[in-house]
Amino acid sequence: MGKLNLQGAAKRLRDALLCAPKQLLGWLRNSPIRVCLFALTVLTVLFYIASLAIVLQFTEEFIYSVYAYVDAHDIVLAQLPEDLYRRLQMADFIRIFATYFLALLAIFFEVIAFYNLKLKIPLRLLRDAAARMAHNDLGFTLSYPSRDEMGDLCRMFESTRAQLEENHRELWRAIEERKRLNAAFAHDLRTPLTVLRGYVDFLAAYVPQGKVREEKLLSTLSTMSSHITRLENYVDTMNEAQRLEDISALPRRITTQELTDALFEELSLLGKQQKITLQLHPELYSGTIRVDPGIVLRVADNLVSNALGYAKTTVCLTLRADARFLYLTVEDDGRGFTKEELSQATKAFFKDKNHENSAHFGLGLNICQTLCERHGGWLSLQNHPAGGARVTARFSLRAAASLPASNP
């Protein structure tokens, strides 16, 4: 039994001795650079002292033996045999040389150890990553798990790479979106321009011959005027959509009463123009909130204008807030959203089948979605349980947000 215990203890001691260097290396790799450098310096000094002590031990033993020989034979150093005298000089030289050589060797080993422990891997990773980024390759991940300063540097580099990759994706999305806007712009302009060209050809062919009655001429001019107005409205809408890229939220302190009054003043005439009842239900607490009233009013105007195009008799706007968001909800008693509209209506130039040939350009909800995102919120579409559509715009009350909030 005692023999087994001794064998077990010996095995544990051996395993501990084998694991100790690995644990030391792991600790040095993860320790801060100054701690690692201090530890390596201590190890270097110990190595230097131990090595020098060994060298001096051998040389001193030889020197002592020579002096013992001198004392035993009652002679002076100059009377030593020539070979013994040369060996004594060599021993002195070795002792002096070893003092400097071992110091340089210890420093060299310390530098090599420091480079391999702290610099070799992260510098190689950073060099390879920089080379890939120089060739516009951002599809990689830089991972260096050390908790020292080089690990922090690698993590910051990775964060920068990830941000550049996201910016790169955003840039390409913006380019593709611009291409799509231009294509849609050209497509939607083609129809009214074709109609205008037909009317121009008609007038050019028959007016000089006096074959067009006055009533027909006035009707044609009225139709041409309506198409020109549609073109003007479309160009204005396109300009507004493209200017959204440069819009950022500028929140300021405003009382809830001021915001409610501004909404009422902005929207009160819309319902009267279309003979539809517009109800405003402010449910805000009395006090101040921090929002960009310009963005809130633009979103409210777009949502209400969109709802008026579908409502039968009533459009209801509700305004409320909590600690994080301002909620603006617009409801109508129209037909509501189809499944396709619920998922696609906030995309630019989306048109439902019932409005393909109307003055509806398919940008209203997309503009609202973009404005909400600029204000740290988002836009959600629902169908009211009692029928009709419900659109809710959320605006962050905490800070101006240049990035969109995550939609839960």
Tell me the mean pLDDT in the region 305-319: 85
pTM (whole model) above 0.85? no
Whether 220 and 299 map to the same domain: the answer is: no
Q: What is the CATH number of the domain that holds 372?
A: 3.30.565.10
Instruction: Answer yes or no: is 157 within a domain.
Output: no
**Across 162-168, average pLDDT:** 90
Same domain, 221 and 258: no
- Nearest Cα neighbor of 97 from 64, 40, 51, 46 is 51
C-alpha to C-alpha distance for 174 and 180, rounded to whole angstroms = 10
SS3 117: helix
If one counts the domains in the chain, the total is 3
Which residue among 243, 272, 294 closes a domain?
243
Expressed as residue numbers, the domain containing 119 is 13-137
Q: Say what percent of the chain tops pLDDT 90.
A: 10
Q: What is the pLDDT of residues 29-76, one digit of tens each?
A: 778 888 888 888 888 899 889 888 888 887 777 777 777 776 776 666
pLDDT digits (tens, 9 = 90+) for 98-130: 888 888 988 998 899 888 888 888 899 999 999
C-alpha 282/C-alpha 257 separation (Å) is 9
Angle subtended by helix axes 82-114 and 33-73, to nearest 10: 170
188 lies in the same domain as 284: no
Examine the domain organization and report whether 260 and 378 are in the same domain.
Answer: yes
- Model pLDDT for residues 342-358, shown as the tens digit of each residue: 887 877 667 665 554 44
For the cut 90, the answer to whether the pLDDT of residue 319 exceeds it is no
Residue 391 has pLDDT above 90, yes or no: yes
pLDDT band at 18 (very low <50, low <70, confident <90, very high): low
Contacts of 34 (CB under 8 A, 6+ apart): none
pLDDT value at 407 more than 60? no
Contact 41, 110 (CB under 8 A): yes
In a domain, 153, yes or no: no
Q: Which of 142-151, 154-163, 204-213, 278-287 has the lowest mean pLDDT?
A: 278-287
